[in-house]
Amino acid sequence: MWMTPKRSKMEVDESRGFRSEWTQRYLVVEPPEGEGALCLVCRRVVVAASEPDVRQHYEAEHGYYERYVSEGEREALVERLRRGDLPEAAPLTPEERAARAGLVVARLLALKGRGWGEGDFVYRCMEVMLRDVLPDHVSVLNGVDLSPEITRQRVLDIHENLRSQLFNRAKDFKAFSLALDDQAFVAYENYLLVFVRGVGHDLVVQEELLTIINLTHYFSVGALMAAILEALQTAGLSLQRMVGLTTTHTLRMIGENSGLVSYMREKAVSPNCWNVIHYSGFLHLELLSSYDLDVNQVINAVSEWIVLIKTRGVRRPEFQALLTESESEHGERVNGRCLNNWLRRGKTLKLIFSLRKKIKTFLVSIGATTIHFTDKQWLCDFGFLVDIMDHLRELSVLLRVSKVFAAAAFDHICTFEVKLNLLQRHIEENNLTHFAALREVTDELKEHLKEDEKIFEPGRYQVVICRLQKEFERHFKDLKFIKKDLELFANPFSFKTEYAPISVKVELTKLQANTNLWNEYRTKDLGQFYAGLSAESYPIIKGVACKVASLFDSSEICEKAFSYLTRNQHTLSQPLTDEQLHALFRIATTEIEPRWDDLVRGRNEPNP
């Protein structure tokens, strides 16, 4: 998967063009007409010809040809395929086709968070449909086993297949980073999700779940560190190649003397002068302010409203949009702690704020308390919280975009810090231009208060913004430490050589004087440009590129895991072993396609 920023919407998206090295790697050639990649095996055209699309087609449909390993074997294979001489792959037997169908259904059940027992229900549905529509073909289901025990085992088999593919790719990582999320499992036995992002020599970025660690079994930071090191060793990853560490902002992670980050920095030795770069604001950004804003009184009151609406106002048309969003996020059941995290998202609070008058009418109709609606300070706090969370949401949306490098993500963070300075000045001047909700509350209160009566205290909210500024400075200070490296990576031809480190000045001067490379830089995205850069001629710049590319540039994969949890909390609250939980989350977050034929024929590679 390429994670590459675009400098202009008007530029041609070269990352979707055909690349010659794909012929041996994925057995495709450039089609004589049109765009895409023509598969030499099945003669189908992969229309969206970006590398992830081509790789997914190859791994899903033609993994059989991975047995041709050496360069000479691949060249001979390509020549045979060009001539139409297709090496015989043993066709699947009816029993194997039935097993493959069962595997695909098991994966779909896992993706949708359905229980093991629902395989039987799927089988009965297919049987009823076939009896009515294709009665002569009901017998095709005879070999399909979707019993709970078989479905459970198939999910574990798919997990092992995906895991072994990740480990094979990890061997080629030139640099990698870890993301540690201990706040995703907000409602259950606590777990730590460990994600890895690595890049090879061609700067293709891979983001995957590395492992899940049960924090009740590894309570101390030392034990947790040992579990992470064991997972890295199993994957064939050395701390010598670790460049970055992204975490949540809990004491377990960033405690000054006893946090996990301190332990890992002591263990990790980077291959050049960099220390391990740590930043802790990417994950669950909406919770960043929760440690500094007094939000609980607002969140708790709003949580009570939501519970009342879900129990006694479910049929009211004015609440349908809110209920629909709640169900899409949490399913039919809402856990209290998941609900609180959901409410801390700017979009949700903004929607509830817009419904506050209708909610008040509803509360009055059922005899519930409406005391908060007469509390001037509480209403102002509510409006201010809606505005701050909405500003954080806008940043969070930018940081969930996965096809950028850390340099672009750092730009978003710097821009937001400038925005906080502006908000600080505006609140000091009683200028509510960028505080729409607070302005709406104050306008309403003015109608009921005396002209000289003060509505809110600006100093109260200045303190909040000041604390948020300090939090951003603390959580992202390491990215500022490598600011020059990020700038060099993003704009190598406009970077002033006098600001470059001595070790890179000669390479940078030579690079900027190369007209051919300048043309490539203009027409290609950064990933392709650095992938084609000679490691022999520009070893230091290439090394910087690998390290920057390996830094987590978004929270997308963590958000994917958190969304999977909140949507399927009823299923995941059932008794599950750690291995089963690991399997479900790997299937839900991976970009790797299972090798179905290997699974069917039992060719799953053993784990290291």
Angle between helix axes 296-312 and 320-330 (nearest 10 degrees) is: 100
CA distance 188 to 387: 31
The predicted pLDDT at position 6 comes to: 34
Task: Establish if 285 belongs to a structural domain.
Answer: no
**Residues 584 and 538 placed together within one structural domain of the fold:** no
- Residue 17 has what pLDDT? 67
Distance CA 247, CA 468 (A): 18
Q: Which residue carries 């975009």 as its tokens?
A: 401
For residues 373 and 449, membership in a common domain is answered with yes
Counting the structural domains of the chain, the total is 4
Question: Is 118 in the same domain as 256?
Answer: yes
Residue 561's contacts (CB-CB under 8 Å, 6 or more residues apart) are: 181, 184, 193, 209, 585, 588, 589
Residue for token pair 């675009």: 6
Question: Residue 335 corresponds to which tokens in the numbers above?
Answer: 């856990």
Whole-angstrom Cα distance, residue 528 to residue 530?
6
Q: Is the dihedral of CA 559, 560, 562, 568 positive or negative?
A: positive
Strands (E), 80-203: 175-181, 191-199
Domain for residue 120, yes or no? yes
Residue 485 lies in a domain: no
**Distance in angstroms (rounded) separating the CA atoms of residues 182 and 542:** 33
Question: Going edge to edge, which strands form the sheet with 45-46?
Answer: 28-29, 37-39, 45-46
Same domain as 97, residue 61: no
Calpha distance 361→309 (Å, rounded): 12
What tokens does 62 get? 């033609």
Q: Which amino acid is at 456?
A: F
Task: Compute CA 322 distance to the chain's CA centroid, rounded to the nearest angstrom.
Answer: 25
For residue 137, count CB atoms less than 10 angstroms from its CB and return exposed for 0-12, middle for 13-18, buried for 19 or more. Answer: exposed
Give me the pLDDT at residue 584, please.
94
Domain that residue 448 falls in: 294-479
Looking at the structure, do residues 390 and 401 belong to the same domain, yes or no? yes
DSSP assignment string, 557-587? HHHHHHHHHHHTHHHHTS---HHHHHHHHHH
Q: Which residue has tokens 């090879």?
A: 200
Q: Six-digit token pair at 300?
A: 């708790």
In a domain, 474, yes or no: yes
pTM of the model: 0.80
In a domain, 11, yes or no: no
Collapsed DSSP state (helix, strand, coil) of residue 303: helix
- Whether 177 and 551 have beta carbons less than 8 Å apart is answered as yes
Task: Collect all residues with Cβ–Cβ distance below 8 Å to 190 and sequence separation of at least 6.
Answer: 182, 214, 215, 216
Does 410 fall in a domain?
yes
The last residue of one of the domains, among 444, 459, 479, is 479
Same domain, 432 and 507: no
pLDDT along the chain (608 residues), means of 10: 30 54 85 81 76 78 72 81 72 82 93 88 91 87 89 94 92 91 68 92 88 88 91 91 87 80 76 69 66 65 83 82 65 50 68 89 90 89 89 83 77 91 92 92 83 77 88 86 87 88 88 92 85 87 89 86 80 82 94 87 54
Q: What is the pLDDT of residue 259?
A: 83
Residue 378 lies in a domain: yes
Q: Are residues 112 and 53 in the same domain?
A: no
Judge if 339 and 444 occupy the same domain. yes
* 97 and 162 share one domain: yes
- Both 129 and 259 in one domain: the answer is yes
Same-domain check for residues 398 and 454 = yes
Same domain, 269 and 339: no
Last residue of some domain: 36, 58, 83? 83
Q: Is residue 181 part of a domain?
A: yes
What span, in angstroms and rounded, lies between the C-alpha atoms of 164 and 158? Answer: 10
Last residue of a domain, one of 479, 509, 531: 479
User: Is 191 strand, coil or helix?
Assistant: strand
Instruction: Supply the DSSP symbol for 592.
Output: P
Token pair recorded at residue 76: 């001979």
